Structure 1
């Protein structure tokens, strides 16, 4: 009986471990996507700033 209970507990523990690892991987992937999108937005803002600075220099000349 102890062996059966131990086997069940180990199996259940392994199941919980894999489920938590799956959630961790999903969380990491989502945060990587958010970071990539944020960096793309920052690059677009910098590009627009450079464009506006170039236009301002042309209009001043």
Structure 2
């Protein structure tokens, strides 16, 4: 697998969402930090679980 270029925002999302997965942060507090709704955080978590961290990358890049 090759390198995947990610923006700083995407890297921050992965860091925060990995804390939610590890039960070190709640979904509500992650939504507050990322300035998203809890529904959007749930959707991002599902994308990470199915496609890994690369699934968080913005789809319009590349």
TM-score range (shorter-chain normalised) is under 0.3
Higher relative contact order (CA 8 A, sep 6+): 2
Q: Which has the higher helix share?
A: 1
TM-score, normalised via structure 2 length: 0.27
| Larger of the two Rg values belongs to structure | 1
